[in-house]
Homo-oligomer: A and B are copies of this chain.
Amino acid sequence: MIPLIFNGSAAGIQLACTLLVMRMQPNSEFAGEPMAAGSVPTAIELSEASVTFGRGARAVPALSKTTLRIADGEFVALVGPSGCGKSTILRLVSGLARPTTGVVIVGGREVAARAMRVGMAFQNPTMLPWMTIEKNIMLPLKIVEPFRSQFRRLRKTEFRDKANALLEQVGLKGFGGRYPWQLSGGMLQRANLCRALIHEPRMLLLDEPFGALDQFTREELWGILQQLWMTHKPTVLLVTHDLREAGFLASRICVMSARPGRILDDSSVAFARPRTVAMTFEPDFVALNQKLRAFIVDARTAAREGA
């Protein structure tokens, strides 16, 4: 009984906006920082970052000299073959991993993504099994300032309402009190998305957040995410396998090569916002899709021949 349905109108989206009450945050992290080359400050910058797992004979190069620059408030999609290092890039940005060589700068500082309030949706929705879904979702509020200090005080009920409102939006109304293992794969993934959003992050790192969902639930959530982005302009880095999804949501799409990954292509997506599902069937959109497809096919062939 998914309560929201995305039907091209803005009805669902409006609900989304009223529920996801995000206070606008002045981007204080950048006050006083030297400006990047462009007029918009840089949120994420990877310079020749490589990651190699393991050592010696068993070393797996996961990422090879990747350079990527994402401006503050950009919505970038990352596509590429399985195992090419997309998740690794997200881990670099979130500070969970460090580059073997090269530099990763996030929010103006090296390594630490902590300078910014980051929301991360992991590819595998790891919910803490001893907590109900609601508590799992409220976890960021328990950790991240300024919510943290408010958590112990009166605002607990308020926070719980917020979690439940989010859950309702993604079609999980009434499941807040359940434990993770009582949810289906797709439901867990939606809860995972809620956890990434609840603390109103300035930066969103989404690793295939809609992979286990059916087309319709997925499109519904596209709409919500787009609206969220348009309202608050967080920096978003989205990993996806769905080229339509990338086209619908992103302002820029980066195509990665097979492992060890590099950025092969970096195209802007010009379609006007708000985009609708109907648009994804239009010729321009299909053409973009085809162009990206061709890119990936080439890359794969190249990788095979190179190997």
Given known pairs A81-B217, A214-B82, the reply for A182 and B60 (CB within 8 Å) is yes
Query: What does the 1/0 interface line of A229-252 toward B look like (CB < 8 Å)?
Result: 000000000000111000000000
A109 in contact (CB, < 8 A):
no
Using Cβ atoms and an 8 Å threshold, which residues of chain B touch A293?
215
Contact: A212 with B217, CB < 8 Å? no
Given known pairs A124-B124, A211-B211, A212-B241, the reply for A186 and B1 (CB within 8 Å) is no
CB distance from A192 to the nearest CB of B (A): 12
A216 CB contact (under 8 Å) in B2, B53, B81: B81
A304 CB contact (under 8 Å) in B2, B177, B215: B2
Query: What does the 1/0 interface line of A1-24 toward B look like (CB < 8 Å)?
Result: 111010000000000000000000
A49 in contact (CB, < 8 A):
no
Q: How many copies does the complex hold?
A: 2
The stretch among A135-143, A144-152, A295-303 that forms the contact with chain B is A295-303
Query: What does the 1/0 interface line of A77-88 toward B look like (CB < 8 Å)?
Result: 001111100010
What residue in chain B is nearest A256 (Cβ atoms)? B214
Within 8 A of B (CB), among A75-109: 79-83, 87
Contact: A83 with B258, CB < 8 Å? no
CB distance from A276 to the nearest CB of B (A): 15
A123 in contact (CB, < 8 A):
yes
A185 in contact (CB, < 8 A):
yes
Q: Can you list 14 A-B pairs with a CB-CB distance of less than 8 A?
A: A1-B304, A2-B82, A2-B304, A60-B182, A81-B214, A82-B171, A82-B185, A82-B190, A82-B217, A87-B184, A123-B212, A208-B212, A211-B211, A215-B242
Q: Beyond A80-B214, A82-B189: 16 further Cβ-contacts under 8 Å?
A: A1-B303, A1-B304, A2-B303, A2-B304, A3-B307, A5-B304, A54-B182, A60-B182, A81-B216, A83-B184, A83-B186, A185-B207, A213-B241, A214-B296, A215-B293, A215-B296
